[in-house]
Structure formats: structure tokens, C-alpha cells
């Protein structure tokens, strides 16, 4: 009885670890694909927004959105060309 409980617990833990690994790998892939411009755009946007420079923050978020739009557009075009 004790072995069954250990196997079930081990299986649940392995599933949770696997899910966390998938999430971490997805975030790392997004960061690599987004590049320095996108990451700095969102960081600069947040900092500028906090200090009250909302117009400049909008420009920074625009850079971030443009980088993500390029990623999404490339993904859609790749799927359509298959």
C-alpha cells in the first residue's frame, strides 16, 4: 500500500515538474525571439509609466508591441506556407 502511494505521489510531482519546465522553456524561447529591443522596450515602458511619463512609455510599449507583432506575423506566415 505504501509503495502505491509513493508511485502516485512521484508521478504527480513528475507531471508538475514537467509542466513547470514547459513554461520555463516557453518563456526563454519568447525572450530569445523577442530580442533586446522588445525586452528593453517593456522595461523602459514600465519604468517611464511609474515615473509618470505616459507618452514616452507609450512609445516604449510601441517598440515592444512591434517586436511581438513581428513574431506573430512570422508564425502565422510559417503556418500558412506549410
Q: Is 52 left (phi over 0), alpha (psi -120 to 50) or beta?
A: left
d(CA 12, CA 2): 16
Whether 61 shows a pLDDT value over 60: the answer reads yes
Q: In the prediction, which pLDDT does 53 show?
A: 93
- In this prediction the pTM is 0.56
pLDDT digits (tens, 9 = 90+) for 5-23: 656 677 777 788 888 899 9
Domain of residue 8: give its range: 2-80
Instruction: Provide the number of structural domains found in the chain.
Output: 1
Amino acid at each position: 500500500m505504501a509503495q502505491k502511494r509513493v508511485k502516485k505521489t512521484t508521478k504527480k510531482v513528475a507531471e508538475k515538474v514537467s509542466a513547470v519546465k514547459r513554461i520555463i522553456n516557453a518563456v526563454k524561447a519568447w525572450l530569445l525571439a523577442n530580442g533586446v529591443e522588445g525586452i528593453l522596450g517593456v522595461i523602459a515602458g514600465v519604468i517611464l509609466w511609474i515615473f509618470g511619463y505616459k507618452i514616452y512609455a507609450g512609445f516604449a510599449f510601441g517598440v515592444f508591441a512591434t517586436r511581438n507583432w513581428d513574431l506573430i506575423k512570422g508564425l502565422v506566415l510559417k503556418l500558412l506556407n506549410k
